[in-house]
Structure 1
Amino acid sequence: MRHVPFFRWVVTLGFVLVACAVGLYAAGPDLPETRQIDLTVLDEKADGSCRVSWPDPYRKRVREASYQCDPDRSDLLKAPQYSEDHRYGWETGFMLTEGPERGNLEDLATEQDPSTSDTLLLFGLPLVALGLLGGNIRALPRIFGVQARLVHRATALSEAARSAAEDYERAVAAAREAGRRHALPRGPDSGPGSPLITALWVLRKAGPQAERAAALGRALTVRLQGPLDDAAPAAGLRSMLQAGPAARLTAARAVAELRPIVEGAERNGVPERLAQASVDLLRGQDADRAALEAATDFAGDPVAYRQLLARLTPSAVPPKKQGASRWRLRWRRSS
C-alpha cells in the first residue's frame, strides 16, 4: 500500500487559504496614512474611556474628542500624577493625515466585523501549522528506517559477486569455444597467437581461487537478490517517505537480513577476493601481451594445459559403447 500524503494536503490547503487572504488584502481599499501624536488626557475613567485634546494642524486649532485610552499604562502617565498643576494625563494616538477625515484620530478601539480575508487567514494559518507538525511527526518512523549506507554496501557486494561469476563464465566459455576450433600443439613450442592457449592461460593464471570466487559470487548473487529488492525503500529518505506501511515493514526485515550477510562478507574479505578474481580473469584483454606470455608459459608446462582443457571439455561417450548399447537394445527386443 502506497503512502497517502494526508498532512501534505493539509499544508497545501492552508497555504491556499493564506494566499487567498493575502490576495484579498492586496485587492482591498488602501488604509489612510497616519502619524503618531501626543494626546492630552482631560478626563479618564477606570475602564480607559477618556476625553483627549490634540492640536489639529489642518484646521489650525486644538480639538477635543472621546478616545479609548490604555487603562494598563503606568499610573505616572495618568492624571493627576502626570501633571499635578493642570490635572492632565498623557497618551499617544494616531491622527489621519490624508483623505477627507484628515486631522481626526484613528479610533483603535472600534471593533470591526472580521472580513473575508481575516476569516481565510484565521483558518489557513492553523492548517499550515497542523500540516507541518503532523507531517514531521508522521515522518519520524520513516526517517529512522532509512539504511542507505547498508543498502549501498549490499548493492556493491552483489555487483562484485555478479561480475566475478560472469567473468569466470566468460573465460571458461572462451576456452571451450577455442577448444572446439583449435587443438593444442603436441610439442611445447607453439609460437604466440594460439587462441586456445591464450584462453587456457587466463584460467591457469587466475588459478583455482578464481573458480571458488565465481562459485561464491553465484551463491551471493542469489542470496542477496531478494532482500535487496525488498530493501529498496530503505535506500534513501525520499523513497522511504513515499513507501507505505507494508513496504516499510518489508524493507526493515530485508535490511535485518542483509546486515549479517554484508558484515560477514566484509569481515572475511569477500569483496576483495571477488574483485581480485575479476582482475585476474581480465588478463586476456591485452591480446598481444597475453599471447606472448601464454606461449612462454605453455612451453614450460604443456601437460598442465592439456589437463586443464580436459577438465573443461565435456566428456563424450565413445562410439563403440554406443554401438554396444544399441546391439543390446535390439537383442532384448528380439528376445
Structure 2
Amino acid sequence: MLTLGFVFFACSVGFDAVRSDLPEARQIDLAVLDEKPDGSCRVRWADPYQKRVREASYHCDPGRSALLKAPQYSDSRGYGWESGFMLTEGPDRGDLEDLTAEPDFRYSDVFLLLGMPLIGLGLIGGNLRAVPRVMGVETRLVRRAARLSEAAEWAAEDYERAVAAVREAGCHVLPSQASEVAPDARLVTALWVLREAGPQARQTAVLGGKLAKQMHGLLDDAAPAAGLRSMLKAGPMARLNAAQAVTELRLLLADSERKGLPERFAQTSVDLLRGQDADRAALAAETDFAGDPTAYSRLLAQLTRPAPSGSSRSASPRRGWRGYPRR
C-alpha cells in the first residue's frame, strides 16, 4: 500500500510538471465599471500589446472589502477596484485569464487524493505490524549480560595464566631458607601473584568459567534482542528463542548481582595482573619469599601436582591491560 501510494503521488507530481496548457500571465489592476452581487462585473484595463484600453466581462470577488467597490472606492470616476491576470504570451496575449474555466479537479489532484490515504495507511499499518517484533528488545539487559560474561571469562583466563606461569618456570622445588642457592625469580614472582590474589581467586575463577560457558549460549540466542534492527530482521523462531534467552539472562544477572559476582570477577583480574609490572613484582616477591619460603613451597606443590586426565585447559593469548579499579 505504501508503494502504491508513492506511485500515485509521483503521478500527481508528474502531471503538474508536464502540464503546460496555460500560457504565462501577470497580475494587473482592473477598474470595475459595473458589478452585481453575485460577482458578475464589467471591467476595464490597459492592453499594452494592442496599445488601447479594453473592456470585458469578468467575475469579480464578491467577498472583497466594500471599500474596494463603488461608490466607496476612492476613484473620482465612481468605479470599483479588482485585480486580475493578463495573458502575456500566445495569440490571446492581452486578454484576461478566465479563472472560472479551470476544472475543479485535474488528473494531478485525483492521483494526489488517491495516493495520500494509501501512504498514510501504509505507514500506520507497517508500524503496527512492527510493534510485536520490537516488544522483546532488551538492549541494556543484553549489554549487561555480555559485560558480566566477559568479566567472568577474564577472571578464569587470568587465573589459568597465572598458574601456567608457575608451571612453565620449569622448577618444581624451591630451595630452603638455609640453602645458598637463589630461587628462580620468575617462579617466585608467579607464586607471589597467586599468594596475593588469595585462595578465593581459584574459587572465583572456577565460578567465572562455569558462568561464562553458561552465558555464552544464552547470549547467542539473545542476539536479536540487542537492537531494533536485529529484532526486525529475525524470524519468528529466532524471536521466540531470544525471548526465552533474555528471561534466563535476567535471572542470571539478578542472582550474580545479588552475590556480588561482577565485583569479585573484576577484583580477581586486578589481583592476578599485578605481575605485569615485572620489576616491582619481583622485588615484592623476593621480600615476601624471604619471610615465609615454606608457604611458597606448599603452594608450588599444590600447583605442580599432576592434574586428572582431561581436566587441563590451555590458557588463551594474553589480552591487554584492563583498567579495573582497585578495591
The alpha-carbon deviation at position 159 of structure 1 amounts to 0.5
Runs of 4+ residues over 6 Å off in structure 1: 74-83, 85-89
Q: Is 1:41–1:89's contact at 8 Å kept on the other side of the alignment?
A: yes
Is residue 42 from structure 1 mapped to residue 34 from structure 2 by the alignment?
Answer: yes
> Alpha carbons of 1:141 and 1:89: their partners in 2 closer, same or farther (altered >3 Å)?
farther
Q: Is 2:172–2:300's contact at 8 Å kept on the other side of the alignment?
A: no
Is residue 286 from structure 1 mapped to residue 277 from structure 2 by the alignment?
Answer: yes
> Alpha carbons of 1:315 and 1:258: their partners in 2 closer, same or farther (altered >3 Å)?
closer
- Cα distance between partner residues in 1 of 2:20 and 2:7: 22
Deviations 1:153-174 (A, max 9, x none): 1111110011001111222233
> Alpha carbons of 1:251 and 1:115: their partners in 2 closer, same or farther (altered >3 Å)?
same
RMSD after superposition: 3.8
> Alpha carbons of 1:160 and 1:305: their partners in 2 closer, same or farther (altered >3 Å)?
same
1:42 is aligned with what amino acid?
Answer: D
144-153 or 239-248, larger mean C-alpha shift:
239-248
Deviations 1:292-319 (A, max 9, x none): 43333233222222322332234599xx
Counterpart in the other structure of 1:186 = 175
**Any gaps of 5 or more consecutive residues in structure 1?**
1-6, 318-335
- Cα distance between partner residues in 2 of 1:125 and 1:114: 16
- Cα distance between partner residues in 1 of 2:239 and 2:83: 62
> Alpha carbons of 1:54 and 1:293: their partners in 2 closer, same or farther (altered >3 Å)?
same
- Cα distance between partner residues in 2 of 1:250 and 1:303: 54
Is residue 257 from structure 1 mapped to residue 273 from structure 2 by the alignment?
Answer: no
Q: Report SS of the residue matched to 1:36.
A: strand
Q: Equivalences for 1:103-252 in 2 at 5 Å? A: 103-112=94-103, 117-118=108-109, 120-142=111-133, 145-178=136-169, 181-188=170-177, 191=182, 193-252=184-243
**Any gaps of 5 or more consecutive residues in structure 2?**
309-327
Deviations 1:259-285 (A, max 9, x none): 233244334432121111111112223
Counterpart in the other structure of 1:306 = 297
Identity %: 65
206-215 or 226-235, larger mean C-alpha shift:
226-235
Q: Is 2:193–2:272's contact at 8 Å kept on the other side of the alignment?
A: yes
> Alpha carbons of 1:275 and 1:316: their partners in 2 closer, same or farther (altered >3 Å)?
closer
201-210 or 94-103, larger mean C-alpha shift:
94-103
1:158 is aligned with what amino acid?
Answer: S
Larger helix percent: 1
157-166 or 71-80, larger mean C-alpha shift:
71-80
The alpha-carbon deviation at position 237 of structure 1 amounts to 3.1
Q: Report SS of the residue matched to 2:101.
A: coil
Q: Report SS of the residue matched to 2:54.
A: strand
Q: Is 1:36–1:92's contact at 8 Å kept on the other side of the alignment?
A: yes
Q: If the length of structure 1 is used for normalisation, what is the TM-score? A: 0.72
Q: Is 2:174–2:297's contact at 8 Å kept on the other side of the alignment?
A: no
